[in-house]
Structure 1
Amino acid sequence: MKHLTITFSVVLFSSIVTSQELNIDTKSVSIDNLITFIVDTIDRKTEDSDMPSENITFLIQTPVNDLRTEHIVILNQAFKLVSKRLSEDDSISIITYSGFSGIALNQSSPKDLKAILYAIENLKPSVKEFHDDGIELAYEFTKENFMEDSVNSVIMIRNPKGSRDEEEIVQHVKATKKRTNVVLITAMALLPEIISVIKD
């Protein structure tokens, strides 16, 4: 498990470096706070809006099987809200990580609500090809589908009751914080709950 945690940290670091090179924003939110997060961070666009288009990859942490019913309900409501706030010029994708990793929804219009909700309600069956690391996949996917003159971002939707033991990651950050600041920066970007550990 220690090797897995170290590997996870290295992948996060390399993903952040790649994202910085291509100016891919990274945001992180717990699934329980997702709706509030969308209200606060995704502006509603009007027909005459001059805001740049959005290219968002949603990266959802999953258990080994599909999400629990209450989490599916939250995601359904959240993506309905995303659909209302974004325009036809924007695009969203859905990728999973942790319990199972893969592309559940390729780049789609946020207005294609039927396809989006189907992917949410059938995450595992929607993945055509499973990968070893969903986080790395998300950044590679975003890099390959990078849209010039758009705001390109990865939004990690963390599931605190998912399969990855985040306490192990916290312990790894504690052990390495005196040796490097890179892991700390990565951890702060993707796992806000360990900021308190960094401050100790």
Structure 2
Amino acid sequence: MNILFTTTLALMLSIASHSQEKNIETESVTLDNLITFIVEHYSIQTDSTKTKNITFLIETYADSFNTEDSVILKQAFKLLSKRVTEDDLISIVAYSHFNGIALNQTEATGIKKLLYVVEHPKSSVKTFEDDGIELAYEFAKENFIEDSDNSVVMIRIPNRTTEVAKTESKETKITTNRKSNALVLTAIALLPEIISVIKD
């Protein structure tokens, strides 16, 4: 786990250093702090404010987000959509469990598209890639807009892979217990017949 984190961090720093040529700012935030992050980093827009071109890089741990994580993401994007203008752009890239572009550049106020991606993250990706982090920076560079605030915001969702593994383990255990119980009940039901065979 530490090796994976170190490799990811090294890759991020390497890619971020290349992206500095085009002034792509990199931010990293955990899902639990996302709403606070949006309040602190995206003030309500004025005419004098630079337009924003934000690529959200969201960690995935399953084919979809659990209810709690989905609610936080939806509330965060709803809040963000009220603090930006139609000139601002948002993209979403997924990484970890699956990697790919989930939402191409769209108006930051287009909340329906943002919420759809949160509800259907995997089906929103048209082409799956090997590395979502590298993909996000390549995408940000290709879609760089001069005289805008270009940024990649990594949203980390820690410890969810462990939770998913535990849930799957519990489900397997329940299935195994059901099979064991069925076997015991079958053996008890057949016991009189077995005894009569032994007697004969």
One-letter amino acid of the counterpart of residue 127, structure 2:
E
- For 1:75 and 1:110, the matched residues in 2 are separated by 14
Moved >4 Å (runs of 4+): 1-7
SS in 2 for 1:94: strand
Q: Does 1:41 align with 2:41?
A: yes
- For 2:105 and 2:64, the matched residues in 1 are separated by 21
- For 2:140 and 2:68, the matched residues in 1 are separated by 28
**Unaligned stretches of 5+ in structure 1?**
165-200
Offset, 1:65: 2.2
One-letter amino acid of the counterpart of residue 21, structure 1:
E
Partner of 2:193: none
Greater shift after overlay, 101-110 or 64-73?
A: 64-73
- For 1:23 and 1:6, the matched residues in 2 are separated by 24
Offset, 1:3: 7.5
- For 2:146 and 2:107, the matched residues in 1 are separated by 17
* 8 Å Cα contact 1:26-1:153 kept in structure 2: yes
* 8 Å Cα contact 1:54-1:90 kept in structure 2: yes
- For 2:36 and 2:6, the matched residues in 1 are separated by 32
Change in Cα spacing, 1:137 to 1:119, as seen in structure 2 (3 Å) is same
Query: TM-score under structure 2 normalisation?
Result: 0.76
- For 2:150 and 2:20, the matched residues in 1 are separated by 11
Question: How much is the aligned-residue C-alpha RMSD, in angstroms?
Answer: 1.8
Partner of 1:59: 57
- For 1:78 and 1:69, the matched residues in 2 are separated by 14
Change in Cα spacing, 1:155 to 1:5, as seen in structure 2 (3 Å) is closer
SS in 1 for 2:82: helix
Partner of 2:128: 130
* 8 Å Cα contact 1:99-1:162 kept in structure 2: no
One-letter amino acid of the counterpart of residue 14, structure 1:
S
Partner of 1:85: 83
Change in Cα spacing, 1:2 to 1:43, as seen in structure 2 (3 Å) is closer
Partner of 2:181: none
Change in Cα spacing, 1:4 to 1:73, as seen in structure 2 (3 Å) is closer
**Unaligned stretches of 5+ in structure 2?**
163-200
One-letter amino acid of the counterpart of residue 38, structure 2:
I
Change in Cα spacing, 1:8 to 1:70, as seen in structure 2 (3 Å) is same
- For 1:92 and 1:151, the matched residues in 2 are separated by 12
- For 1:4 and 1:42, the matched residues in 2 are separated by 31
**What fraction of aligned residue pairs are identical, expressed as a percent?**
55
Partner of 1:11: 11
Offset, 1:64: 3.1
- For 1:6 and 1:36, the matched residues in 2 are separated by 26
Offset, 1:29: 0.7
Partner of 1:184: none
* 8 Å Cα contact 2:65-2:118 kept in structure 1: no
Change in Cα spacing, 1:111 to 1:17, as seen in structure 2 (3 Å) is same
- For 1:93 and 1:125, the matched residues in 2 are separated by 16
Choose which of 149, 152, 155 in structure 1 pairs with 2:150: 152
| Bigger helix share | 2
Partner of 2:139: 141
- For 1:57 and 1:78, the matched residues in 2 are separated by 15
Partner of 2:23: 23
Offset, 1:111: 1.3
Query: TM-score under structure 1 normalisation?
Result: 0.76
Q: Give aligned pairs, total.
A: 162
Q: 1:105-135 CA distances to partner (integer Å, 9 max, x unpaired)?
A: 1000011111111111100110111111110
